[in-house]
C-alpha cells in the first residue's frame, strides 16, 4: 500500500470509527428540516389545485402543470447544485438552495393567477432540486461507516413528517371553515417557515473533510474538521498537502467529471442510481400528488376533507413507519435488499389493484393494498435511492453523480405528476396501477444488476476510491 493511501486512511480513521455524536445529529437536523419542507411543498399542491380549480378556473392541463411544475424545475436544481458542489465546494452551496425555496414559497402565497403561480412553483422546485443534491452528500461525507445509512436515511425520513404535515394542515383549515381563497395561500406560504429556520445553520456548517482533502488537498483543515466532529485528533503526516488532489478529476482539465462517470464501474452505477430513482418517483409522486384525484374517483361522494383525512391516515399508518424501519435496518440488512424487496412488494400491490375485479373500485380492497404499496415504497426504494448516490461515487464527482441521479428521479416525478391525471381520465385507477406495477418491476431488475452493496464500508471503499485490499492493509497498519 502506498504512503498516500495510508495517510488518507489514518486521517479518516477517527471519522470512520466514531460513535454517532452531537455534530452528526446537528448535520442531520440541518439537512432534515430542508427535506421536511421539500415534501410539504411538493405534495401540498395536490390539495391546493383542488381548491383553486373553481377560483382560477383551472383546466385538467393546468392542474397537471401546477402539480408537476416544481418537479420539472427540481431537475435543473439538482443538476446545477450537484455540479457546483464539486466545483466550488459543499459549504459554498449549502443554504443557497433553501433560501431559493423560501423565496419561492412566499411568492406562491401571493400568486394572482395560473401563470404567476406556475412561475413561482418553478422557483420552489429549483430550490428543492438543489436540496436533494446537497444534503445527502454532506451528511454522507460527515458520517461514520457503521451508521452512514442511518444518518443519511434519517435526513430523508424527515420527508415523512412533511408528507403528514401537508394533509394535516389542510384538514385543519378545511375543518375550521377557513375560506378556500385564504386557505390555499396559507397552505403554500407556510412552506417557507421550516426551511427558513435552518438557512443560518447551513451557511455556518464546515466544509466536509472528504472534500477538503480529496479535492483541495488541504490536510490541516481536514484534520481540524475531523477533530471537530469526533473529538479525536487524527494522525497527520507529510507537508500538510495531499498528492491526491493534484490528480483529482475535480481539478485539472474540464473532462474529468465526464471521464470518471462514464468509466467502469461508475457508468453502471450511475445507470442504477438514476434509473431506479426515475422509476420509483414515477410511482411515488404520480400516486401521491394525484391522491386527491384518485380518492375522488374511488369515492365520488366524498368531500375534499374526507379524502385529505384518508391521505393523512395512509401516510401516518403506512408511509411514516416505513421510512423509519428503513432507517433502522439500512446498516443491518443493506441498501440493496431493502431496495429490490421494496420494488417487489410495490409490483405485487399495484398488480393486485389492477387485476382484482374490485381492486380499483372497492374501498376495502383498494385502500389496504394502496397502503401496503406506500409502506414498501418507504421501506424500500424511496429511502435507498436517496442514500445510494451519496456513497458509491468518488468524492470529486460525488455531487455530480448525486445531482444526476436526483435529477432523473425528479424527472420521473414530473412525468408521474403530469401524466397520472390524464391517465386517470383515460384508463381509470386500475389502468394507472397497472402502469405502476410495470414500472416497479423494472426497478427490481435494475437494482439487482447495476448496484453494489456499500453497507459497513468506508466511503472511500464504497466509492471505489481505494481498493478493498488496500483498505484492509491500511486498517492493520
Listing DSSP states for 412-431 in one string gives HHHHHHHHHHHHHHHHHHHH
pLDDT value, residue 232: 81
Contact 298, 369 (CB under 8 A): no
Mean pLDDT score, 89-93: 91
Mean pLDDT score, 425-441: 94
First to last CA, the chain: 10
pLDDT value, residue 250: 39
For 89, the grid coordinates are 465546494
Contact 124, 41 (CB under 8 A): yes
Say yes or no to pLDDT of 249 above 70.
no
CB-CB neighbours of 357 under 10 Å: 9
**Long-range contacts made by residues 360-364, C-beta under 8 angstroms, separation at least 24?**
360/298, 360/428, 360/429, 360/430, 360/433, 361/298, 361/429, 363/298, 363/299
Mapped onto helix, strand or coil, the DSSP state of residue 96 is: helix
Question: What is the gyration radius of the CA atoms in the chain, in angstroms?
Answer: 22
pLDDT value, residue 149: 94
Say yes or no to pLDDT of 220 above 60.
yes
What is the spatial distance between Cα 267 and Cα 281, in angstroms, rounded to a whole number? 21
Domain extents in the chain: 3-456
362-393 burial string, b = 16+ CB within 10 Å, else e?
Answer: eeebbbebbbbbbbbbbbbbbbbbbbbbbbbb
Q: Is 55 left (phi over 0), alpha (psi -120 to 50) or beta?
A: alpha
Say yes or no to pLDDT of 2 above 70.
no
Contact 30, 202 (CB under 8 A): yes
Output 463 or 260, whichever has higher pLDDT.
463
Say yes or no to pLDDT of 445 above 60.
yes
Of 409, 410, 393, nearest to 401 by C-alpha is: 393
What is the spatial distance between Cα 224 and Cα 157, in angstroms, rounded to a whole number? 30
Would you say how long the chain is, in residues? Answer: 477
Pick the CATH number of 3-456 from 1.10.540.10, 3.30.2020.30, 1.20.1250.20, 1.10.760.10: 1.20.1250.20
Q: What is the pLDDT of residues 177-204, one digit of tens each?
A: 899 899 999 999 998 888 888 888 888 8
- Of the pLDDT bands very low, low, confident and very high (cuts 50, 70, 90), residue 245 is very low
- Of the pLDDT bands very low, low, confident and very high (cuts 50, 70, 90), residue 45 is confident
Q: What is the pLDDT of residues 275-304, one digit of tens each?
A: 999 999 999 988 887 888 888 888 888 887
22 by Cβ neighbours in 10 Å (0-12 / 13-18 / 19+) ranks as exposed
Q: What is the pLDDT of residues 254-273, one digit of tens each?
A: 456 666 888 888 999 999 99
What is the spatial distance between Cα 227 and Cα 173, in angstroms, rounded to a whole number? 48
Q: Please give the backbone phi and psi of residue 241, each rounded to the nearest 5 degrees, phi first.
A: -135, 160
Say yes or no to pLDDT of 363 above 50.
yes
Q: Please give the backbone phi and psi of residue 109, each rounded to the nearest 5 degrees, phi first.
A: -70, -20
- Of the pLDDT bands very low, low, confident and very high (cuts 50, 70, 90), residue 251 is very low
What is the spatial distance between Cα 117 and Cα 121, in angstroms, rounded to a whole number? 6
Report the percentage of the chain scoring pLDDT > 90: 51
Report the percentage of the chain scoring pLDDT > 70: 91
pTM: 0.88
What is the spatial distance between Cα 202 and Cα 31, in angstroms, rounded to a whole number? 8
Say yes or no to pLDDT of 317 above 60.
yes
What is the spatial distance between Cα 84 and Cα 90, in angstroms, rounded to a whole number? 8
Q: Please give the backbone phi and psi of residue 216, each rounded to the nearest 5 degrees, phi first.
A: -90, -20
What is the spatial distance between Cα 237 and Cα 231, in angstroms, rounded to a whole number? 19
pLDDT value, residue 254: 43
Mean pLDDT score, 436-445: 97
Beta-ladder partners of 241: 218
Beta-ladder partners of 218: 241
For 104, the grid coordinates are 419561492
For 261, the grid coordinates are 462517470
Mean pLDDT score, 163-187: 88
Half-sphere exposure of 34 (CA within 13 A, CB side): 32
DSSP state letters, 374-396: HHHHHTTHHHHHHHGGGTSS-HH
Say yes or no to pLDDT of 313 above 50.
yes
Find cell 430513482 and name the residue. Answer: 277
Q: Of the given ranges (117-126, 238-247, 397-406), which has the lowest mean pLDDT? A: 238-247
Mean pLDDT score, 152-170: 87
Q: Which of 242-246, 247-251, 320-324 has the highest mean pLDDT?
A: 320-324
- Of the pLDDT bands very low, low, confident and very high (cuts 50, 70, 90), residue 248 is very low
- Of the pLDDT bands very low, low, confident and very high (cuts 50, 70, 90), residue 332 is very high
What is the spatial distance between Cα 468 and Cα 455, in angstroms, rounded to a whole number? 14
For 12, 56, 295, 367, 477, the CA distances from 2, given in Å and listed in that order, are 16, 66, 61, 58, 12
pLDDT value, residue 306: 84
Of 363, 218, 371, nearest to 302 by C-alpha is: 363
Find cell 451508521 and name the residue. Answer: 147
Say yes or no to pLDDT of 319 above 70.
yes
Amino acid at each position: 500500500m502506498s504512503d498516500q493511501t495510508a495517510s488518507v486512511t489514518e486521517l479518516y480513521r477517527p471519522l470512520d470509527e466514531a460513535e454517532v455524536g452531537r455534530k452528526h445529529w446537528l448535520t442531520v437536523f440541518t439537512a432534515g428540516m430542508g427535506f421536511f419542507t421539500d415534501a410539504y411543498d411538493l405534495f401540498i399542491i395536490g390539495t391546493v389545485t383542488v381548491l383553486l380549480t373553481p377560483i382560477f378556473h383551472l383546466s385538467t392541463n393546468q392542474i397537471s402543470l401546477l402539480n408537476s411544475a416544481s418537479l420539472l424545475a427540481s431537475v435543473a436544481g439538482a443538476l446545477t447544485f450537484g455540479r457546483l458542489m464539486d466545483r466550488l465546494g459543499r459549504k459554498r452551496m449549502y443554504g443557497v438552495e433553501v433560501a431559493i425555496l423560501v423565496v419561492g414559497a412566499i411568492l406562491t402565497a401571493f400568486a394572482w393567477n395560473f401563470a404567476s403561480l406556475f412561475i413561482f412553483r418553478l422557483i420552489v422546485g429549483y430550490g428543492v432540486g438543489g436540496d436533494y443534491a446537497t444534503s445527502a452528500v454532506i451528511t454522507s461525507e460527515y458520517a461514520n461507516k457503521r451508521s452512514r445509512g442511518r444518518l443519511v436515511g434519517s435526513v430523508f425520513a424527515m420527508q415523512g413528517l412533511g408528507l403528514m404535515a401537508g394533509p394535516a394542515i389542510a384538514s385543519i383549515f378545511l375543518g375550521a371553515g377557513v375560506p378556500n381563497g385564504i386557505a390555499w395561500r396559507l397552505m403554500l406560504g407556510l412552506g417557507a417557515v421550516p426551511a427558513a429556520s435552518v438557512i443560518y445553520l447551513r451557511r455556518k456548517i464546515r466544509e466536509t473533510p472528504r472534500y477538503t482533502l480529496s479535492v483541495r488537498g488541504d490536510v490541516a483543515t481536514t484534520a481540524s474538521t475531523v477533530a471537530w466532529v469526533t473529538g479525536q485528533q487524527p494522525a497527520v503526516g507529510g507537508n500538510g498537502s495531499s498528492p491526491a488532489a493534484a490528480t483529482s478529476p475535480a481539478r485539472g482539465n474540464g473532462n474529468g467529471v465526464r471521464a470518471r462517470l462514464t468509466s467502469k464501474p461508475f457508468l453502471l452505477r450511475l445507470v442504477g442510481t438514476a434509473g431506479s430513482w426515475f422509476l420509483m418517483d414515477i410511482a411515488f409522486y404520480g400516486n401521491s400528488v394525484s391522491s386527491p384525484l384518485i380518492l375522488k374517483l374511488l369515492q365520488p361522494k366524498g368531500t375534499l376533507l374526507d379524502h385529505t383525512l384518508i391521505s393523512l391516515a395512509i401516510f401516518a399508518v403506512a408511509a411514516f413507519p416505513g421510512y423509519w424501519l428503513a432507517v433502522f435496518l439500512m446498516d443491518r440488512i443493506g441498501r440493496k435488499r431493502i431496495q429490490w424487496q421494496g420494488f417487489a412488494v410495490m409490483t405485487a400491490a399495484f398488480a393486485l389493484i389492477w387485476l382484482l375485479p374490485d381492486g380499483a373500485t372497492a374501498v376495502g380492497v383498494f385502500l389496504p393494498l394502496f397502503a401496503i404499496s406506500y409502506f414498501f415504497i418507504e421501506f424500500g426504494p424511496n429511502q435507498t435511492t436517496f442514500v445510494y448516490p451519496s456513497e458509491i461515487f468518488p468524492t470529486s464527482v460525488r455531487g455530480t453523480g448525486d445531482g444526476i441521479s436526483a435529477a432523473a428521479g425528479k424527472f420521473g416525478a414530473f412525468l408521474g405528476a403530469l401524466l397520472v391525471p390524464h391517465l386517470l381520465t383515460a384508463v381509470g385507477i386500475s389502468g394507472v396501477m397497472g402502469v405502476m406495477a410495470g414500472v416497479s418491476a423494472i426497478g427490481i431488475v435494475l437494482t439487482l444488476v447495476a448496484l453494489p452493496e456499500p453497507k459497513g464500508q468506508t466511503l472511500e471503499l464504497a466509492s471505489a476510491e481505494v481498493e478493498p485490499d488496500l483498505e484492509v492493509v491500511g486498517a492493520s497498519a
